[in-house]
């Protein structure tokens, strides 16, 4: 697996924990150091959060990430987009990314149509933009303020942060100068990690089914 990390303060977190727990090999590509690697040879690509917007295509790094995910899509390499990564994936699939009328900062419950793939949460969120559902994709989850997940073939984009821990998001809050209620008892933290593992397991199962269809 190729993980695209875009900020030092936005590491793979629970995603890396899940990969380690499942014995799956992965490379973390630091986009500010590594440029844009090729996705060929990887089972799937995950693109993480950023303090930039997917709308900032005038910024070379944003344009490059969109091109990378577009090439992965063209080559039938599954993409998992998380928050900014989900917005870039949506844009690469032809959807609009726009300023959200209400930023979603902190813990949020979501309405889900498929709780096996997208558990209802609560999830940690930290975003000021939102994506529209790409043409041909199926919206899977939402809040009153933003679409939260879509699926198209093997590709999955989510607006929340299944990979993030409370400590990671506290760092974003400090950087943004925003006061947000991120407090969570141990049982909520454990539940969030378990939900993230369910989401990642379900995504992996979808990619396995997609691989079988390609091979048949």
Judged against a pLDDT cut of 80, whether residue 35 lies above it is answered with: no
* Active-site option among 65, 104, 125, 163: 163
User: Are the C-beta atoms of residues 90 and 97 closer than 8 Å to each other?
Assistant: yes
* Average pLDDT estimate for 142-155: 97
Q: Is 17 designated active site?
A: no
Nearest-angstrom CA–CA distance, 199 and 89: 17
User: Are the C-beta atoms of residues 159 and 124 closer than 8 Å to each other?
Assistant: no
Judged against a pLDDT cut of 90, whether residue 135 lies above it is answered with: yes
* Average pLDDT estimate for 152-166: 97
Q: Is 170 designated active site?
A: no
Task: Note the pLDDT of residue 215.
Answer: 76
Domain ranges of the chain: 2-215
Burial 174-209 (b: 16+ CB within 10 A, else e): eeeeeebebebeeeeeeebbebbbbbbebbbebbee
Confidence band for 87, pLDDT divided at 50, 70 and 90:
very high
| Topology given in CATH for the domain delimited by 2-215 | Rossmann fold (3.40.50)
* Average pLDDT estimate for 109-125: 96
Tell me if the pTM is above 0.75.
yes
The share of the chain scoring above pLDDT 90, in percent, equals 89
Give rounded-to-5 percent helix, strand, coil for the chain: 35, 25, 40
* Active-site option among 6, 50, 83, 125: 83
Q: Is 161 designated active site?
A: yes
User: Are the C-beta atoms of residues 138 and 147 closer than 8 Å to each other?
Assistant: no
């Amino acid at each position: 697996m190729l993980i695209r990390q875009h900020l030092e303060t936005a590491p793979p977190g629970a995603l890396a924990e899940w990969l380690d727990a499942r014995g799956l090999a992965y490379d973390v590509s630091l986009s500010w150091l590594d440029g844009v690697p090729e996705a060929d040879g990887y089972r799937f690509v995950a693109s993480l959060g950023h303090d930039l917007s997917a709308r900032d295509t005038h910024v070379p790094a944003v344009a490059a990430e969109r091109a990378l995910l577009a090439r992965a899509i063209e080559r039938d390499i599954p993409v998992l987009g998380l928050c900014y990564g989900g917005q870039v994936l949506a844009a690469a699939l032809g959807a609009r990314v726009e300023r959200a009328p209400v930023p979603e900062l902190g813990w949020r419950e979501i309405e889900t149509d498929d709780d096996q793939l997208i558990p209802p949460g609560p999830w940690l969120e930290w975003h000021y933009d939102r994506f529209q559902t790409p043409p041909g994709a199926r919206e899977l989850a939402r809040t009153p303020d933003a679409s939260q997940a879509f699926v198209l073939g093997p590709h999955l984009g989510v607006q929340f942060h299944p990979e993030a821990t409370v400590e990671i998001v506290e760092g974003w809050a400090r950087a943004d100068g925003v006061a947000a209620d991120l407090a969570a008892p141990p049982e909520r933290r454990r539940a969030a990690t378990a939900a993230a593992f369910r989401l990642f397991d379900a995504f992996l199962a979808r990619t396995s089914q997609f691989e079988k269809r390609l091979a048949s």
